């Protein structure tokens, strides 16, 4: 236990959805929705650290999101670039460890450099582990793992453990709770291997409106559940 009533480790994963609809409701360009989404992320990171969550992963850009209009993709990359530059030092001071999940190919070289830099700079931090999933797709992750296994020693079969060891962050605990905002009820290719026994929580709140109160609601809902993992549980 973390001392705050949560098991240690405790991994919360968030599908940060609804930025576009948030902006549309206000007659604003979609990119302003994404910018407001960064504010929501800042609130959520601070709240997660206070609440004793040890790992927070956030789905920021999927392998499918490249199919959006060029202007939106470029705008999102520029938001990632600026937010990272602005936040690295503060995250380091706040004892947050950054680890990125996703395919590294295809991202702008300077964004990639900032990702590597911030991972190195915060590698020794022992507080919240923040995992932005950028250019992430669950199927792609499994394929990348299989292909890297195939490049290794030739063998007839692969164990579950070996496959897990080849995922993007092999020592990341599986998500205990996956939250999706904006009312959509699907995983959209997020943590496809790791979500096998995750609890799912859906809220209509649009991502830019999310913060401490909404995270507390999700956790309090989680606490009422019984995870059975195929057993008969407490029955
Ligand atoms: C989530 O918000 C952010 C990303 C996918 C990058 P959306 O941009 O998907 O917002 P909606 O779903 O159009 O409202
Ligand atoms: C999932 O949201 C990806 C991220 C939040 C980064 P999408 O908005 O891309 O998902 P779909 O298209 O509604 O399934
Ligand atoms: Mg969406």
Hey, which residues are catalytic here?
A: 17, 65
Q: What is the pLDDT of residue 56?
A: 99
Residue nearest to atom 3 of ligand 1 (CA): 17
End-to-end CA distance of the chain: 24
Q: What is the pLDDT of residue 155?
A: 80
Average pLDDT of span 3-30 = 96
Contact assessment for residue 56 and residue 96, using Cβ atoms and an 8 Å cutoff: no
Contact assessment for residue 149 and residue 166, using Cβ atoms and an 8 Å cutoff: yes
Q: What is the mean pLDDT of the chain?
A: 97
Instruction: Report residue 172 as tokens.
Output: 């990341």
CA 135 / ligand 2 centre spacing (Å): 12
Q: Which pLDDT tens digit goes with each residue over 90-140?
A: 999 999 999 999 999 999 999 999 999 999 999 999 999 999 999 999 999
User: What does the CA dihedral 55, 207, 168, 145 come to, rounded to 10 degrees?
Assistant: 130
Which listed ligand is nearest to 34 at the C-alpha?
1
CA 149 / ligand 3 centre spacing (Å): 33
Please indicate whether residue 61, judged by its CB atom, sits closer than 6 Å to ligand 1: yes
Q: Quickly count: other Cβ atoms within 10 Å of residue 72's Cβ.
A: 15
**Mutational pocket test of ligand 2: of 20, 62, 103, the residue with most ligand atoms within 8 Å of the beta carbon:** 62
Sheet containing 129-136, strands listed edge to edge, beginning at the edge strand earlier in sequence: 97-98, 129-136, 55-62, 11-15, 177-180, 199-202
Q: For Cα atoms 164, 140, 195, give the angle at the middle one, nearest 5 degrees.
A: 50
H or E segment at 12? Answer: strand 11-15
Q: What is the pLDDT of residue 2?
A: 66
CA 98 / ligand 3 centre spacing (Å): 24
SS3 (DSSP) at 96: coil
Q: What is the pLDDT of residue 4?
A: 79
CA 17 / ligand 1 centre spacing (Å): 5
Q: Which pLDDT tens digit goes with each residue over 197-233?
A: 999 999 999 999 999 999 999 999 999 999 999 999 9
User: pLDDT-derived band of residue 83, with 50, 70 and 90 as boundaries?
Assistant: very high
**Mutational pocket test of ligand 2: of 24, 65, 137, 180, the residue with most ligand atoms within 8 Å of the beta carbon:** 65
Strand runs (DSSP E) across 169-212, as ranges?
177-180, 199-202
Atom of ligand 2 nearest to the CA of 65: 9
Separation between Cα atoms, residue 69 and residue 74, nearest integer Å: 9
Which listed ligand is nearest to 30 at the C-alpha?
1
pTM of the model: 0.97
Measured in residues, the chain has a length of: 235
* Per-residue pLDDT at 82 exceeds 90: yes
- What the chain holds in terms of domains, given with CATH numbers, is 10-225 (3.40.1180.10)
User: pLDDT-derived band of residue 153, with 50, 70 and 90 as boundaries?
Assistant: confident
* Per-residue pLDDT at 1 exceeds 80: no
Q: What is the pLDDT of residue 146?
A: 96
Whether the CA torsion 150, 155, 157, 159 is positive or negative: it is negative
């Amino acid at each position: 236990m973390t001392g705050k009533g949560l098991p240690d480790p405790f991994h919360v994963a968030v599908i940060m959805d609804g930025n576009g609809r948030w902006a549309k409701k206000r007659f604003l360009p979609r990119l302003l929705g994404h910018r407001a989404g960064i504010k929501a992320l800042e609130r959520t990171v601070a709240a997660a650290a206070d609440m004793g969550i040890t790992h927070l992963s956030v789905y920021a850009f999927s392998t499918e999101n490249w199919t959006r209009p060029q202007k939106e993709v470029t705008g999102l990359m520029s938001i990632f670039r600026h937010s990272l530059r602005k936040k690295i030092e503060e995250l380091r001071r706040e004892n947050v460890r950054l680890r990125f999940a996703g395919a590294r190919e295809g991202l702008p070289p300077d964004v990639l450099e900032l990702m590597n830099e911030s991972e190195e700079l915060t590698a020794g931090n022992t507080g919240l582990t923040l995992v932005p999933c950028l250019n992430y797709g669950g199927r792609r992750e499994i394929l990348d793992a299989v292909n890297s296994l195939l490049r290794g020693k030739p063998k007839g079969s692969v164990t579950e453990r070996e496959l897990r060891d080849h995922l993007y962050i092999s020592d990341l605990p599986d998500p205990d709770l996956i939250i999706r905002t904006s009312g959509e009820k699907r995983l959209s290719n997020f943590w496809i291997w790791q979500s096998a026994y995750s609890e799912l929580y859906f809220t209509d709140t649009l991502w830019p409106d999310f913060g401490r109160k909404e995270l507390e609601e999700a956790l309090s809902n989680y606490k009422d559940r019984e995870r059975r993992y195929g057993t008969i549980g407490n029955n």
